[in-house]
């Protein structure tokens, strides 16, 4: 049972979903490809943390909809109380920033402009998610008992940190522009 496995249990615990669906839902918080998810789901099902029913669809491919078992829910509760691993952040841009002095202004500038753009896209995406959430739960996501609370605080953090990185990019570009 690794972290990704608990992540999947956590999503399924809230709402039964297909592997494909879980992959999409998970993206913002834990990047994993379908090739990692499908085998894991099969394993979790074999070990009775999850169960699935095959849902037949006419217009699209059939799907397996997984739901959580009592054993799965118990495992989740136990996991929540166990020590949390430290976060891992790996950003190629940091490593490039370290050797900016080796290159010219134009190349350097481009690096941060691309990241600025990426952040701009992410920002509007997450702002939309947050707005949708606030609609969905009739304005009380700040209540820690609400099932939306977790998503609410996560989206808030995401929006804040993206906004900040965006400002950081602009600050760096500003310095790169000054011919000093």
Partner DNA sequence: CTGGTCATGTAATGAGTTACATGATTGA
Partner DNA sequence: TCAATCATGTAACTCATTACATGACCAG
Residues lying near a copy of itself in the complex (CB under 8 A) are found at 3, 6-7, 9-11, 13-14, 29-31, 73, 76-77, 79-81, 83-103, 105, 107-108, 111, 114-115, 118, 142-147, 149-151, 153-154, 156-157, 160-161, 164-165, 168, 172, 175-176, 178, 180
Q: Token pair of 179, please?
A: 């011919």
Segment interacting with DNA, rule: CB under 7 A, options 57-65, 102-110, 122-130, 151-159 = 57-65
Q: Which residues have CB under 8 Å from 50's CB, separation 6+?
A: 8, 9, 12, 41, 44, 66, 67, 68, 69, 72
By CB under 7 A, residue 93 contacts DNA: no
Binding mask 152-171 for DNA (x = CB under 7 A): --------------------
Q: How far apart are CA 66 and CA 88, in angstroms?
A: 28
Query: Where do we find the tokens 């894991």?
Result: 40
Residues of span 58-77 touching DNA by CB under 7 A? 59-64
Q: How far apart are CA 52 and CA 22, in angstroms?
A: 13
Interaction partner, residue 19 (DNA, a copy of itself, none; CB < 5-8 Å by kind): DNA
Q: Token pair of 93, please?
A: 């841009």
Q: How far is the CB of 62 from a copy of itself (least distance, A)?
A: 27
CB 33 within 8 A of CB 47: no
Q: Token pair of 47, please?
A: 């070990």
CB 158 within 8 A of CB 126: yes
Interaction partner, residue 38 (DNA, a copy of itself, none; CB < 5-8 Å by kind): DNA
Q: Measured from the CB atom, is 70 or 92 closer to DNA?
A: 92
Q: Which of 170, 171, 166, 172 is nearest to 120 (CA)?
A: 166
Which residues are at the interface with DNA (CB under 7 A)? 2-4, 18-21, 24, 31-36, 38-39, 41-42, 57, 59-64, 88, 90
């Amino acid at each position: 049972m690794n972290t990704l496995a608990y992540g999947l249990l956590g999503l399924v615990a809230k709402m039964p979903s297909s592997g494909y669906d879980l992959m999409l839902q998970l993206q913002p918080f834990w990047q994993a490809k379908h090739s990692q998810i499908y085998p894991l789901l099969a394993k979790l099902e074999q070990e009775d943390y999850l169960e699935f029913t095959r849902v037949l669809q006419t217009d699209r491919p059939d799907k397996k909809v997984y739901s959580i078992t009592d054993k799965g829910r118990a495992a989740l509760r136990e996991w929540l109380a166990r020590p949390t691993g430290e976060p891992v952040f790996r950003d190629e841009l940091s490593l490039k920033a370290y050797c900016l002095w080796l290159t010219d202004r134009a190349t350097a500038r481009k690096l941060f402009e691309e990241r600025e753009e990426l952040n701009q896209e992410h920002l509007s995406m997450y702002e939309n998610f947050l707005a949708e959430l606030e609609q969905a739960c009739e304005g009380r996501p700040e209540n820690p008992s609400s099932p939306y609370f977790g998503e609410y605080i996560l989206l808030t953090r995401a929006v804040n940190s993206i906004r900040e990185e965006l400002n950081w990019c602009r600050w760096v570009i500003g310095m790169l522009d000054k011919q000093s």
